[in-house]
Each structure stands twice: as structure tokens, then as C-alpha cells.
Amino acid sequence: MKTIYLAQNDIYIYENDRVVKSELKPVKGAVTSSIGYKDIINITFKLPKTVEKDMLEIEAEKYVFTEASLDYQKEYKINYIFREYEDYYNVEAFVVETNVLKQKFEKYLKVFKHIDFISASPFVFKSYYDITNTPPKNDVFICFNEEEAYLSCFENGEFVYVKGLSKLSALSSQLNLDKQQTVELLSEKGLDETKYEDSQVYSVVESFFSQLFMKVNNLINYSISYYSLTQIDRIYFYSPFKIHNLFESYTGFWDLSGIEFKEYKIQTDYDYFDYTALIYNAKHYENENENFSIFPKPVPFYRKKSGIFILTAVVVFMIIGADAFYKYKIISQQESEIAKLNKKISRLKKEHKLVQAAVKKYSKKVADLKAQNKALQQQIADLADKINRLYEIQRSPLVANDMAFVVSVMKKYGLKLSSYSKSGSHTDLLIVSEFDNSSTIAEFLKDLYKHGYKNVSSSNIDNNLGIYISKVSYDE
């Protein structure tokens, strides 16, 4: 499968273990990209072990919206990572506003009509092990580029957590330089004090990286405690630009902690991160639990419910038509045989005894053929009945239509659906009202009653920080 990765101004194409860089232009294949940590809201929390596994995501979403102060008026794309411990589940929630996704990928959507998969940049370092054939350990990957800085932690090759670090923009502000000037300063002079004419400038640079790595050290200690990691074995530092004398300055510091401090390198002439992200996306683009894309291909007609129904009906009609045609041919052949027998009987009328024998012999065959003909007619009638039943199925409304109507009424009153269950004609909804206004729930009930729903009732209207939660029941 050909995989396309949308980079900053170019695209990378991966096919048959070969990577090619190209200008931004339409190419057929699985279209992928990644979104930076700076565009992600990362929320870490715990859920009790009493929560059933199939309810984890529901409970996690309740927590995220109620405790993380998300705006109910905005739309979000949310993915979760659940890590199970003896007494609780640790949850890493990754939240991205859909408006952020639309703005970030607007220019790509003018070239590609869809994007199949968008990964979170902290996840992609997992592919380092595949690319370099390096056995995984407990590793930290530091990403420090022009726009963001973060630490991504992996335990034996599996993602554990990500935390933000001080950005290049903070150093630029301290130096009173723009980002490009700061990058040039780091590339040419970096952490080599002998290259600075102004010792004060060096002091600012040295202090910035000292504080950055002190925070890394604190996060490592935090991960060992919070995530029950035994130790951190290696730190890989990635930056798209050179930081002069960085590794000479800090390798000894990390050696004292028993941690290898290594430059992030892979065998390629392309940008290391873009290459890693391309390989990661090629291997994970079918994993919807990690996909932040809101721009998928349209669902093919044959995979839609209506398409499946229509195609099934067409196939059934074709089978019925073929079966009917086959039976028609049999009947025609039998009628031809009967005509031949009748001619034979006429020719034998001159001989009375032979005629009587012939009549007796062929009358039985005629009766059998008529019986077969009757049976065939019954089969055709049965097939016609099947067609009528299929037609009735096609005309009958889908159950989802009723639910769609109820949801539309909810939107009318600004309500949100938290969960629902249906048993026969009885439906239970768990709905949420915002803005310290519970009257919308009552208006919603009136509207349901007005549209013909029976036994409309509500219970357990709770006020939680200005949010009303109510259980609504009705019968169709």
C-alpha cells in the first residue's frame, strides 16, 4: 500500500520499503500527516478499577468534559490511552479542536480531498526501533524544534506519556532575537562559551538548557514514581537544526544518572522526524484509536447501510430472476415434450390396443408433468411473495431515523446526549443541559409528547457545576 505523508511544504511517499520526497501534488494512496503536541490538550487522570472495560471510554469522556473545562460549544477529536494498574486505570486523554485541524490542514485539502490518518507527533518515535533495528528499552525522546518542545516517554517500545518543555520561543524572547536568529546562534555558537564575545548572551543560553534538562530530570523521576517505571535507560535528543556543543556539555551530566544521552539519528538524507512519522503512519494508519483525522474518504456506496440494502435486494432479484428463467425453460421443455407425446398418440389411434396402452402410459406422464408444473407455479408464487416482503422492508423506516429525530429535537434545545439504550419500543436517554438552565429539559419532554411519543418522563435531574443531567424515558 502506498503511503503519503504531508510534511511542512513537501510530501513523502512510502512504497515497497522505499521513501521518495516530492513537491506537494496529488498522489494516489493512503494520505497521512501528523499534528504537533502544541495543538493537543493532554489530560492525565485516574479511573477506579470498578469501571467495566467497555465503559472506560464513556467514563473518561465524562471526566474530560466536566473536569477539564472543555467548551461544550466546540467540537473536539479525542483519543484515549488506558494503562491498567492493580487498583486503577491511568488515562491519557489527547484532545484536539476540530477547528484547529481544519485550519492546520486547509492548504493540504485543496490538493488532497481527504486525509486518511493524522498521528500525534509524540507517538511517532515508536518507529525509531523499526527503522534502526534498535532493541527497545525504557527511553525518552526529546523533540526540540522551532515551534514546540516536549518529552515523549516509552517503556519497552510502548508509549507511556508526553510532557511539554520550554520552547525555542522562550529562549528567543530572553535573547531579544527572532526564531531564525536564535537558530543561527545555537548552530554557530550553541553551548561553547569560547565562541561568545558577550558572556551575558552565553549565560542566557546556558541557563535555558540547564533549566530544560533539569525539568527533564524531574519528569524522569516523576515517571518512575507515577508510572511505576523501573528506570530510564536512554535519552534521544531530536532537533531539525544543530545545537553546537550540546552533547559535549550534557553527556557527562546524564552519565552520572546512568542514562545514555544520544543524538536522534537515522540513515536517511531526509528530515529525521518526517521520515520517522512517515514510517509510523504507514504501519498504523488503520488504527482508529490513534487517528485524529476528521477528513476521511467518503464511505463507499457498497459499505453504507442503504447501499448494502440496495445491493442485497439487487442480488436477491437477480437470483429470483435467474431461478424463474430456469424454471420457465424447464416448463417450456416439458410443454414441448407433451406436444410430442400428443402427436405420437394421434399416430397410434389406428391401432386400438396400442392406442389404449399409449394413452395409459402417457396419461400418467402428463399427470406427473402437470403436477410438476403446479409445483413450479407455487415456487414462482413463493418467490413473488419474497419480492413483496423485500419491497415492504425497503419501504419500512429505519430505526435510526427515529433516533435521528430525537437527536434533532435535543439540538433544538441545546441538549447533549451522553448515552442511550433501547428495548423494544421503550427508550432511555441520558441527556445534559448547560448554562444553569434545566428548563430546556422540560421543553424537550413537551416536544416529545407533542410529536406522539408515549409515557414521556424524566428523573434524576442533577445540578453538577451548572450542568443538569437527566434520565428521559419514552415509548414509541
Is the predicted pLDDT of residue 351 greater than 70, yes or no?
no
- The amino acid that residue 6 corresponds to is L
- Number of compact structural domains in the chain: 3
Residues 60 and 165 reside in one and the same domain: yes
**Cell digits for 17?**
520499503
| Contact between residue 63 and residue 48 where contact means Cβ atoms under 8 Å apart | no
Q: Produce one character per residue of 120-139: b if its CB has 16 or more CB atoms within 10 Å, e if not.
A: bbbbbbbbbbeeeeeebebb
Residues 326 and 414 reside in one and the same domain: no
How many helices and strands (H and E) does the chain possess?
13, 17
Q: Which residue has the cell 502506498?
A: 2
The tens digit of pLDDT for each residue in 313-340 reads 555 556 666 666 666 677 777 777 777 7
What CATH code is carried by the domain that includes residue 212?
3.30.420.40
Apex 335 CA angle, 329 and 336, nearest 5: 90
Residues 418 and 391 reside in one and the same domain: no
Instruction: Read off the pLDDT band of 371 (50, 70, 90).
Output: confident
Measure the CA dihedral 400/405/410/414, to 10°: 110
Bridge partners (DSSP) of residue 140 are: 153, 235
Domain with 369 in it: 302-395
Last residue of a domain, which of 239, 269, 298?
Answer: 298
What's residue 320's pLDDT?
A: 67
| Contact between residue 341 and residue 362 where contact means Cβ atoms under 8 Å apart | yes
| Contact between residue 78 and residue 98 where contact means Cβ atoms under 8 Å apart | no
**Cell digits for 407?**
437527536
Separation CA 266–CA 134 (nearest Å)? 11
Residues 51 and 91 reside in one and the same domain: yes
Residues 24 and 72 reside in one and the same domain: yes
Residues 92 and 236 reside in one and the same domain: yes
The SS3 of residue 287 is coil
What's residue 441's pLDDT?
A: 83
End-to-end CA distance of the chain: 48
Is the predicted pLDDT of residue 45 greater than 80, yes or no?
yes
Query: φ, ψ for residue 280 (rounded to 5)?
Result: -60, -50
Residues 278 and 311 reside in one and the same domain: no
Instruction: Read off the pLDDT band of 69 (50, 70, 90).
Output: confident
| Contact between residue 348 and residue 355 where contact means Cβ atoms under 8 Å apart | yes
What's residue 377's pLDDT?
A: 73
Q: Which residue has the cell 515508536?
A: 126
168: CB partners within 8 A, 6+ apart: 144, 145, 146, 147, 149, 179, 182, 183
Residues 334 and 292 reside in one and the same domain: no
pTM of the model: 0.64
The SS3 of residue 86 is coil
- Of 380, 371, 372, nearest to 322 by C-alpha is 380
Residues 41 and 146 reside in one and the same domain: yes
- Of 404, 408, 412, 399, nearest to 440 by C-alpha is 412
Residues 252 and 367 reside in one and the same domain: no
Identify which has the larger pLDDT, 429 or 316.
429
What CATH code is carried by the domain that includes residue 459?
3.30.70.60
Is the predicted pLDDT of residue 88 greater than 80, yes or no?
yes
Query: φ, ψ for residue 215 (rounded to 5)?
Result: -65, -40
Is the predicted pLDDT of residue 435 greater than 60, yes or no?
no
Separation CA 82–CA 66 (nearest Å)? 19
Last residue of a domain, which of 343, 375, 395?
Answer: 395
Mean confidence (pLDDT) of the chain: 86
Q: Which helix (H) or strand (E) holds 6?
A: strand 3-6
Residues 407 and 348 reside in one and the same domain: no
- The amino acid that residue 25 corresponds to is K
The tens digit of pLDDT for each residue in 112-132 reads 999 999 999 999 999 999 999
Separation CA 10–CA 416 (nearest Å)? 41
Is the predicted pLDDT of residue 362 greater than 70, yes or no?
no
Identify which has the larger pLDDT, 399 or 19.
19
The tens digit of pLDDT for each residue in 260-300 reads 999 999 999 999 999 999 999 999 999 999 999 999 887 54
417: CB partners within 8 A, 6+ apart: 407, 410, 429, 430, 431, 432
Bridge partners (DSSP) of residue 469 are: 432, 462
Is the predicted pLDDT of residue 354 greater than 60, yes or no?
no
Residues 91 and 203 reside in one and the same domain: yes
* DSSP-H helix ranges across 112-178: 128-132, 168-175
Last residue of a domain, which of 361, 395, 429?
Answer: 395
Separation CA 123–CA 12 (nearest Å)? 18
Question: Hey, how many other C-beta atoms are within 10 angstroms of the C-beta on 44?
Answer: 14
